[in-house]
Structure formats: structure tokens, C-alpha cells
């Protein structure tokens, strides 16, 4: 039941939140731009409106009426199409696909609603209807919607952003899985010969799969023992069916990585045996020798006797993903004494928080620490 208050009213919604509505001097009854957690806050908003009317300063909300009538889906689609990266470049194809996928989640409940009619209560109802089994996806989708509505506010299509909540992803750190040096050798030895070095490089330098698939002869300096990571290939293809080459995943992705000396000979053998003489020759091309290898060709099939899925099974590590080879490289570097800054540079991370994951404590490191403590006691 609505509670009257001056020239407006407040009411408790089914969600438990409070909504305030106010009839301005133009005779139009409008809801407050957001809902409130308690009645007092809703009534405070009404008092502010009353005070503005009394002072003669109240004005109808300034919006672009034409823009406010645009359906959320249409505005969101234009928002995605016009979106640019930090340096003004178009969105990566993978990012665009993610946005479009998230828009499909928004579409059924909110897509046809005019921007001006998207209220906090409507957004809350939509969010509450999402499958809780996909908590991270739901939060990411909500954050995109919040960004879209903020753009609409700046475009004066709406007066206030109706996405008033700050949902956060559940705290759920996945266990870091790594392979031992012996397991790396066993997995590499059970790959197709032309892909053996792919496992070696991934596990001992920590490069991402997209960076690995784009490595070319010019990127390897055997004399210095380094890999130059300047580009990465995505899992997406262009209109001609070619994999798309772009920048590495992060701003710190462009880097030079030192190769552990004990595997330099393996990489040199690979260059001599399987890589073309041209400096642009891919280290791990598809079977045609020219185009990028598909992720599925690296992964293979556990039942066909080739590829990573088969090799990890032989090594007794069916739990490993290809990405865990990157975890292996980063963790080994941490065990070797790499600082957080060293790890950030080596694996191309932009934040210390991510790099510190690899400096986690484990039983092997703890045993080493205990031994060193005893050594201190005997000094």
C-alpha cells in the first residue's frame, strides 16, 4: 500500500525495496530514478523534490525524448558496434562475441523495453531470474548492462543509471595444477614429433597458447636463448577462414622471454627439422605448413593416440589442461626465486595480484623452507 507524502508517494515493492513517485509542476507522475533499501531514504528523495518546487527551482528531468524511446537491445547493439579499446582500436573479435553473447542474456526480459522505462526494480527482477549456477557470467553481464546504461545517461537518454547494485563475482579461486619436469618430458615425448617442442616451450616459458601458435622463426634467438612475444592469434577466424592475429592478451604481453638453457637444444632441433627457412615461417603451423595450427590439432584426441589429450593420459595427468602448462612455467619460475615483478614481466601479467598466484605455498616449497630453517639453527 502506497504511503502518501506531499505531492508524491512511497510504496514498498515486492522485492522489499522502496519506490518514491513524485508529481511535478508539469502534472506528470514520475518514479524516482532508483529504488531504496528503506522508506526513510525514499521519503528523503520526495522532500528534496518538494523543496525544489517551493523554491521554484524544480525542473522536469532533462532527457532526449527520442533517444529515451529507443529499445534497450537496439541501443546496446549500437554501443557494442561503436565500442573501442583503450588506444582507439576496434574491439577484438573475441570480446565482441562475448558482448553479443551477454546481450542475448539480457534480451528476453529487457531487450524490447525502452531505455526510459528500464527501472532499478526491472533490472533487479531480471537479475534475480538468472541461473545462479552461472554466477560469474551473470555478474559480467550485469556489469556490461551497467556500462551500457551509463552511456545512455551520458547521452541524456535517461536521467539516472538504473543499475544501482554492485554485484561481485563469487570468490572461488581454482587450484593451480602444474606438471613436474618429468611429466613435461613424458607429455612432450608422446606428442607428434612436430609438436613436441610446443609442450616444451609452453611449460618452460609460460607463453599463452595464442602466443605460441603465432611464434615465427624471427621470434626465436637461439644464440641469446630468448623468445620475442609480439603477437598472438585468437581462436576466432575472419571472413576468409583465417585465424585472426592481433596484440597479446594484455598490455604487458609484448615481452622477451628467456628460455631455460636445458631446453634450448630441443628448440634448436625443432627449428632445424620442422620450421621453414623464411623468417616469417610459423614454428607450429597446420599440416599445410603455412597457416596457423588449430587449437584442436594441439589438443588431439585421447582415443586416437596423438595430441595433448593423449600425451597427458600416458603421463597419468588426465587432469591437466593445456593452459596448465603455462601455470607450470610460472610456478617453476617462482620456485626458482622469481619476484612478483619478475613473474609479471616473464608471463605478461599487468597486475601483481595475478602474478602472486604462482607464489603460493605448496608442500614441496614448505619442505625446502623447513630445511633452510634447520640450517639457520645450526649456524
Catalytic residue among 5, 21, 208, 270: 208
Residue 91 has a CB neighbour count (10 Å cut-off) of: 16
- Our answer to whether residue 326 is catalytic in this structure is yes
Catalytic residue among 21, 231, 270, 326: 326
- Our answer to whether residue 269 is catalytic in this structure is no
- Our answer to whether residue 84 is catalytic in this structure is no
Q: How many CA atoms lie within 13 A of 178 on its CB side?
A: 23
User: Please, is 34 exposed, middle or buried when counting C-beta atoms within 10 Å of its C-beta (0-12, 13-18, 19+)?
Assistant: buried
Beta strand segments in the chain, E:
3-5, 8-12, 18-23, 29-31, 220-221, 226-229, 232-237, 243-246, 255-258
- Our answer to whether residue 39 is catalytic in this structure is no
β-pair partners for 82: none
Catalytic residue among 196, 255, 312, 349: 349
| Dihedral sign computed on CA atoms, order 309, 315, 318, 319 | negative
Grid coordinates representing 124?
Answer: 533487479
Catalytic residue among 237, 323, 360, 372: 323
- 344 neighbors 355 (Cβ within 8 angstroms): yes
Catalytic residue among 75, 142, 309, 358: 358
Helices (H), 181-289: 181-189, 196-205, 209-214, 264-274
Report residue 47 CA to chain centroid gap.
43
- Our answer to whether residue 208 is catalytic in this structure is yes
Grid coordinates representing 175?
Answer: 587450484
Say how far apart CA 271 and CA 328 lie, in whole Å. 23
Catalytic residues: 208, 323, 326, 349, 358
Amino acid at each position: 500500500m502506497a504511503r502518501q507524502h506531499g505531492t508524491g508517494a512511497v510504496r514498498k515493492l515486492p522485492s522489499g525495496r522502496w519506490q518514491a513517485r513524485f508529481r511535478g509542476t508539469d502534472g506528470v507522475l514520475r518514479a524516482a530514478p532508483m529504488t531504496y533499501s528503506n522508506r526513510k531514504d525514499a521519503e528523503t528523495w520526495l522532500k528534496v523534490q518538494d523543496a525544489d518546487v517551493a523554491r521554484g527551482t524544480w525542473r522536469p528531468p532533462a532527457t532526449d525524448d527520442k533517444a529515451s524511446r529507443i529499445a534497450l537491445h537496439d541501443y546496446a547493439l549500437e554501443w557494442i558496434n561503436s565500442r573501442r579499446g583503450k588506444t582507439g582500436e576496434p574491439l577484438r573479435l573475441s570480446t565482441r562475441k562475448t558482448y553479443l553473447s551477454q546481450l542475448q542474456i539480457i534480451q528476453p526480459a529487457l531487450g524490447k523495453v525502452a531505455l526510459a522505462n528500464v527501472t532499478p526494480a526491472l533490472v533487479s527482477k531480471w537479475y534475480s531470474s538468472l541461473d545462479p549456477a552461472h554466477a560469474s557470467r551473470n555478474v559480467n553481464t550485469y556489469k556490461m548492462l551497467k556500462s551500457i546504461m551509463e552511456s545512455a545517461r551520458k547521452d541524456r537518454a535517461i536521467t539516472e543509471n538504473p543499475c544501482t547494485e554492485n554485484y561481485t563475482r563469487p570468490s572461488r579461486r581454482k587450484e593451480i595444477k602444474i606438471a613436474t619436469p618429468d611429466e613435461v618430458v613424458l607429455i612432450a615425448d608422446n606428442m607428434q614429433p612436430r609438436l613436441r617442442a610446443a609442450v616444451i616451450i609452453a611449460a618452460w616459458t609460460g607463453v599463452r597458447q595464442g602466443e605460441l601458435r603465432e611464434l615465427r622463426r624471427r621470434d626465436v634467438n637461439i644464440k641469446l636463448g630468448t623468445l620475442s612475444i609480439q603477437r598472438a592469434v585468437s581462436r576466432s577466424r575472419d571472413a576468409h577462414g583465417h585465424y585472426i592475429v592481433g596484440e597479446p592478451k594484455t598490455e604487458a604481453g609484448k615481452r622477451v622471454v628467456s628460455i631455460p638453457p636445458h631446453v634450448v637444444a630441443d628448440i634448436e632441433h625443432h627449428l632445424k627439422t620442422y620450421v621453414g627457412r623464411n623468417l616469417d615461417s610459423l614454428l607450429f603451423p597446420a599440416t599445410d605448413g603455412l597457416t596457423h595450427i588449430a587449437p584442436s590439432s594441439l589438443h588431439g584426441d585421447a582415443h586416437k593416440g596423438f595430441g595433448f589429450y593423449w600425451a597427458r593420459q600416458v603421463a597419468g595427468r588426465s587432469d591437466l589442461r593445456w593452459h596448465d602448462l603455462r601455470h607450470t612455467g610460472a610456478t617453476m619460475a617462482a620456485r626458482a626465486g622469481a619476484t612478483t615483478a619478475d613473474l609479471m614481466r616473464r608471463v605478461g601479467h599487468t597486475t601483481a595480484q595475478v602474478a602472486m598466484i604462482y607464489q603460493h605455498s605448496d608442500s614441496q616449497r614448505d619442505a625446502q623452507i623447513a630445511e633452510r630453517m634447520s640450517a639457520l639453527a645450526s649456524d
